[in-house]
Amino acid sequence: MQPGSEAFSQAELEAWSAQIQAIGEEYKALLEDLIPRMVPDDAAQSVHAHMREAFQAGAESLMQDPTLLWETQARLVQDQFQLWQNGMRALAGEAVEPLITPARGDRRFQDEAWTSDPHYLAIMQQYLLFSRWVEELIERLDGLSAEQKRNLAFYARQLVNAMAPTNFVSTNPEVMRRTIETRGENLVEGLARLRQDLLASAEGLNVTMTDRSAFTVGENIAVTPGSVVYENELIQLIQYAPTTEQTFKTPLLIVPPWINKYYILDLRQDNSLVKWLVDQGHTVFLISWRNPGPEQGDLTWADYMQLGPINAMEAIEQATGEKSVNLLSYCVGGTLAGSTVAYLTSTRRGRKVKSATYMTSLWDFRDPGEIGVFLGEPVLSGIEAKLEQDGYLDGRIMAYSFNLLRENDLFWSFYINNYLKGDIPAPFDLLYWNTDGTNLPAATHGWYLRHLYAENRLVEPGGIELDGVKIDLRKISVPSYFVSTRDDHIAKWNSTYYGALLPKGPVKFVLGGSGHIAGIVNPPHKNKYGFWTNDALPPTPEEWLEGAEAHEGSWWPNWQAWMTDNGYADAEKMVPARQPGDGELDILEPAPGRFVRMTIPEVLGEPQA
């Protein structure tokens, strides 16, 4: 008997009728909210056109291979016949092994009903067979370039995963049970939450991932003690309070990405990289980037370099008297840091940086991974038109795009929980950070996408010019520590590795386990993920990994040993701990400062959620 097929009393039917009416009213309101958003802008239209091109190229390739077309059709018919046979045997009481089961790590079909109920078991297998068929068909297509095949696979996966039975009320056993238990109240509440999320989204749908009311920046996240000691139109510079009696003479400057906020490195005390660095004896300074709006639309990559790390180094010299720093950079902050070190080298100021660390940082963009789907023509042209029109890229659009790279975990799972089950998301600091986005200035972001991602000019000697200086990464003699992560889907480690081959100075490359965030924010006391090292730097990442040595735990102590063993943080030249405000710079306000608290709605003058 299928869920919900039991007979209802008259009172229950009347209650259901009232609930259905409430659902209808919420649905009507939802449509009214959607209608004004249905006209796509230039960026959305370009994505739609790009998707059509990908499917057209795939269809043309398939039509040119009649044998493959026949084989895939025959395979599909054969699978359907076998599935039907298994279903008949199961109805007859025979124990039958499933024809196909979910892949390891696929959490969509964990409910017991997917295996115990013949109805849901058949639906699941039907879907998984179709999904496998699409994946294998695309893989076997000839006549497509690697880029075309990547684009087709990405768009096809988005459509196939959107069609999953778990995403619909009537074909999700958990949702059906919840609907019966609550008499549809889950759907009423879910539709109301969907409307709220739509109103809070720029384009697409930014699903609520966590209980945002559970966190406040500066109170229970980003709480490492310190002070803002310098500020300009783009950055606030935080100096953290020491926890040791003596510190290394050379200060440490952290250059985080401006895509999202810096406090991923300072979420809470037990996993804060910032706190750990302070506890190791470093005088830690950190750049907190402004959340820009249309007024900052003309800021360029060179402006980010000058107003960011270069101004920060000058301020650090005022605060400590030290003329050089150790740099620690992350993601696009590492791309900026690399171009900054090259700029300083070419202007004979390379000694301002004693060492530079680049965490999951792309210099060579030859293989950007799936994010490259959004960076080909005509999508890039559409993004550029949007940037020119608005003066900035709304960070919520960027977040939506990144979430589609892991759509089942970062979109559809929340879609089901929030809108179909009617659940309230649980508090989770990492997901709070993930939804606390930043805008991106038009001049900086458009230049970055076109010149670095699309044209890969940064690796070319003189390929880019910053404030009249041609940038050549091969001239960098500053000792460099590159750390990447094996499962990174944003900055693929094989691409970051090619960047490590560019500097002429000493380079150490380390590969951490896990992904873009967990592999970096990996405190030693948790003893997780592990990392690989190899003193050699062969021409390819595959050769490097083949000769690498595996280690347990976090890469953080390995980095600290590299710093101290080589004297970049010299244990023989310790100085009394420096307090914020001790030098020539006054304390402007307590950490984490105003800039990191600025939300996108606040910057754009929208109503606060």
The rounded Cα 280 to chain-centroid distance in angstroms is 29
- Residue closest to 520 by CA, chosen among 330, 363, 333: 330
Q: How many CA atoms lie within 13 A of 586 on its CB side?
A: 2
The answer to whether 363 and 459 have CB atoms below 8 angstroms apart is: yes
**Catalytic annotation on 331?**
yes
Tokens of 365: 């963009």
Strands 440-441 and 465-466, bridge-based pairing = unpaired
Q: How many CA atoms lie within 13 A of 105 on its CB side?
A: 3
Strands 226-231 and 589-590, bridge-based pairing = antiparallel
The rounded Cα 413 to chain-centroid distance in angstroms is 16
**Within 10 A of 11 (CB to CB), how many other CB atoms are there?**
8
The answer to whether 133 and 76 have CB atoms below 8 angstroms apart is: yes
Q: What angle do CA 209, 599, 422 make, to 5 degrees?
A: 25
Over its C-alpha atoms, the chain yields an Rg (Å, rounded) of 27
Which of 223, 255, 331, 603 is an active site residue?
Answer: 331
Tokens of 301: 């990559």
Q: How many CA atoms lie within 13 A of 467 on its CB side?
A: 17
H/E element, 430 = helix 429-435
Give me the count of residues in the chain. 609
Distance CA(533)–CA(593), nearest Å, equals 37
Distance CA(353)–CA(236), nearest Å, equals 20
The rounded Cα 11 to chain-centroid distance in angstroms is 49
- Residue closest to 22 by CA, chosen among 170, 179, 185, 168: 185
The answer to whether 595 and 289 have CB atoms below 8 angstroms apart is: yes
The answer to whether 365 and 410 have CB atoms below 8 angstroms apart is: no
Looking at this protein, which amino acid is placed at residue 411? F
Distance CA(170)–CA(164), nearest Å, equals 12
3-state SS, one letter per residue, for 484-534 = EECCCCCCCHHHHHHHHCCCCCCEEEEEECCCCCCCCCCCHHHCCCCEEEC
Active-site positions read: 331
